[in-house]
Amino acid sequence: MTTSGEKQLSKTAIGAFSAINQYRYQRRSGRVWLVGDNRISTSTVANLEREAFVREVASNGGPRLILTDEGKRLIAGGGE
């Protein structure tokens, strides 16, 4: 899932990334994010934000995770 010189994503990060892409029901509950039927730790989300794949935005008064353009390219490219 990387190009030359980039760090490879962990299986946990890939699962979280896929869930964020698939599910629109998201909310933060304490130290975890509930995304669909998955629980994702805030540290995993922070790592994806640091690598510029996801971004946290406020929507309808609550936080929500969205994919950035870089994240959408990664999904569309199939991880190549």
- Determine the average pLDDT of the residues in 1-13: 67
pTM recorded for the entire structure:
0.81
Task: Kindly report the backbone phi and psi dihedral angles of residue 39, in degrees, each rounded to the nearest multiple of 5, phi listed first.
Answer: -110, 125
DSSP classification of residue 52? T
Give the list of residues 6+ apart from residue 44 with CB closer than 8 angstroms, or none. Answer: 12, 13, 16
Is pLDDT at 28 greater than 80 in this prediction?
yes
Residue 28 in contact with residue 39, Cβ under 8 Å? Answer: no
Is pLDDT at 19 greater than 90 in this prediction?
yes
Q: What is the pLDDT of residue 61?
A: 87
Taking the C-alpha atoms of residue 6 and residue 22, their distance in angstroms, rounded to an integer, is 24
Min mean pLDDT across 4-8, 45-49, 76-80 is at 4-8
